[in-house]
């Protein structure tokens, strides 16, 4: 099969790395890809949100299957456009990707189908939002409705902080149109766990549980990022909690989407909080998480191409998906200054000294004259497996130790703050 993966980060490198191991995949392409993805797939210079360009290229080059990984092209309807052109595509259609693209939609869905989540109200008028905050008091959570690169959420500890967040979104247009509607939520407490699941519109099959680290600095300090590291499985996710999540969240969500005429095919990401009242949904994403995908796919034994086809064909219920025992950890090496301002273009040294038992997924690199240089905020995701979480974490740090570039930054506590 000729397969195209859309996207160009660490998640897409992990997807390509796993697909390249499938005997079914004879030709593998990635658009736009990045320096490191070039090790396993041919990179095609088409932007991930260029729907027309992508469909045209896929058609002209007779792709048998396209995997759409990032949120933007999913929300823009890339899967719909590929299907309309007669190309099989993995990922939700736009009418299902809305579960991530609009928090107002996902909150209404959960309310209608009694899926546990934080109490909330949606506002399109600033004064009403401010009055509600005054009435509720702090702590309280303010969210931009639309996609905001994971940065549209303020967990406010004071009323003033919450009011400020509303003003930035609704008055100053900090997140553009994404912030013209805001969702204001009750603040939940408890450990966070993420569960990604494969879905074929009807059946939902959870992967191992996982956790990422969103803050830039050690001890969960500093600004929110796309994720500074991740590991799987999560020690917080016991078999009893898993059973409750399946019964009260995973299966009801798939059934709700189907009942709404928006069947969900692809990967659905459940961001969960294990509150004193049981597991509740913090957020849904309509795609693989980044960097959660890097450790997860490192633990997957089953052929990923088989799973993708089953999700598209509606045959997931007949599949036996297998995972390795033990644990995996991905340590993100980032540019100094990320997620604020940072320099690109530094040569990366030490890659050839990384032990062969680890995998270096490239998130933002360029290959120029045989040398990898930095080309983004998150640059590399060094990923290792182990018999248990502690060993996987230690091995990820050990494998990353030879890698250097000017101002390289990483957290030293990945996998160690899972109880917070």
| Residue ranges of E strands in 201-277 | 204-212, 215-217, 221-224, 229-232, 265-275
Question: How many helices (H) and strands (E) in the chain?
Answer: 13, 22
Does residue 188 interact with ligand AMP by CB under 6 A? yes
CB of 225 to ligand GLY, least distance (A): 9
Q: Is 292 in the site for ligand GLY (CB under 6 A)?
A: yes
Q: For residue 336, which phi and psi values (nearest 5 degrees)?
A: -55, 130
Nearest distance from C-beta of residue 6 to ligand GLY, angstroms: 16
Between helices 103-112 and 94-101, what is the axis angle to 10°? 100
Q: Is 150 in the site for ligand AMP (CB under 6 A)?
A: yes
User: Does residue 100 interact with ligand GLY by CB under 6 A?
Assistant: no
153 binds ligand AMP (CB under 6 A): yes
User: What is the signed CA dihedral for 144, 146, 151, 152, rounded to 10 degrees?
Assistant: 0
Is residue 145 involved in binding ligand AMP (CB under 6 A)? no
Minimum distance from residue 271 beta carbon to ligand AMP (Å): 5
Binding pattern for the stretch 233-272 against ligand GLY, x by CB under 6 A and - elsewhere? ----------------------------------------
188 Cβ partners below 8 Å, 6+ apart?
118, 273, 275, 280, 282
Interface residue with ligand GLY, options 227, 233, 252, 266 (CB under 6 A): 227
Q: Which of ligand GLY, ligand AMP, none interacts with 227 (beta carbon under 5 to 8 A by kind)?
A: ligand GLY
Residue of 155, 152, 191 lying closest to 170 (CA atoms) = 152
Instruction: Rule CB under 6 A: choose which of 150, 206, 364, 386 binds ligand GLY.
Output: 150
Candidates 1, 85, 155, 242; binder of ligand AMP (CB under 6 A) is 155
Using CA atoms, how far residue 374 sits from 10, 341, 343, 405, in Å, is 13, 14, 8, 8
Can you tell me which of 72, 80, 200, 290 binds ligand GLY, judged by CB under 6 A?
290
Q: List, as one string, the DSSP characters of 192-210.
A: EEEEEEEEESS-EEEEEEE
- Cβ of residue 280: shortest distance to ligand AMP, in angstroms? 8
Reduced to 3 states (helix: H, G, I; strand: E, B; else coil), residue 219 is helix
What residues make contact with ligand GLY under the rule CB under 6 A? 150, 212, 227, 285, 289-290, 292
């Amino acid at each position: 099969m000729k397969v195209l993966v859309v996207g160009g980060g660490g998640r897409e490198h992990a997807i390509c790395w796993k697909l390249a191991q499938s005997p079914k995949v004879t030709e593998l392409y990635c658009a736009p890809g990045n320096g490191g993805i070039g090790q396993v797939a041919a990179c095609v210079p088409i932007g991930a949100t260029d729907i027309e360009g992508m469909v045209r290229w896929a058609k002209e080059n007779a792709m048998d299957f396209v995997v759409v990984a990032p949120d933007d092209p999913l929300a823009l309807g890339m899967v719909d456009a590929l299907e309309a052109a007669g190309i099989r595509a993995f990922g939700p259609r736009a009418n299902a990707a809305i579960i991530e693209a609009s928090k107002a939609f996902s909150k209404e869905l959960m309310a209608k189908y009694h899926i546990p989540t934080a109490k909330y109200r949606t506002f399109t008028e600033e004064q009403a939002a401010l009055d509600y905050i005054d009435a509720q008091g702090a702590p309280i959570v303010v969210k931009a409705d639309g996609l905001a690169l994971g940065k549209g959420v303020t967990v406010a500890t004071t009323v003033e902080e919450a009011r400020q967040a509303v003003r930035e979104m609704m008055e100053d247009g900090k997140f553009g149109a994404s912030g013209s509607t805001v969702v204001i939520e009750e603040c939940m407490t408890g450990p966070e766990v993420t569960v990604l699941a494969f879905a074929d519109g009807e059946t939902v099959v959870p992967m191992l549980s996982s956790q990422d680290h969103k803050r830039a600095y050690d001890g969960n300090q500093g600004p929110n990022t796309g994720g500074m590291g991740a590991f799987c499985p999560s020690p917080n996710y016991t078999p009893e909690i898993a059973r409750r999540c399946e019964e009260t969240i995973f299966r009801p969500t798939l059934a709700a989407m189907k009942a709404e005429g928006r069947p969900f095919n692809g990967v659905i990401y459940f961001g969960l909080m294990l509150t004193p009242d049981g597991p509740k949904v913090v957020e849904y994403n309509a795609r693989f998480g980044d960097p959660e995908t890097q450790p997860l796919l490192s633990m997957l034994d089953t052929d990923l191409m088989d799973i993708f086809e089953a999700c598209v064909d509606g045959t997931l219920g007949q599949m036996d998906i297998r995972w390795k025992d033990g644990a995996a950890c991905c340590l993100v090496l980032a540019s100094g200054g990320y997620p604020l301002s940072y320099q690109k273009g530094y040569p990366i040294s030490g890659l050839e000294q990384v032990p062969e038992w680890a995998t270096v997924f490239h998130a933002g690199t360029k290959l120029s004259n045989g040398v990898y240089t930095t080309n983004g905020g998150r640059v590399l995701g060094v990923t290792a497996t182990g018999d248990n979480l502690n060993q996987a974490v230690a091995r990820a740090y050990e494998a990353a130790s030879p890698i250097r570039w000017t101002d390289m930054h990483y957290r030293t506590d990945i996998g160690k703050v899972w109880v917070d």
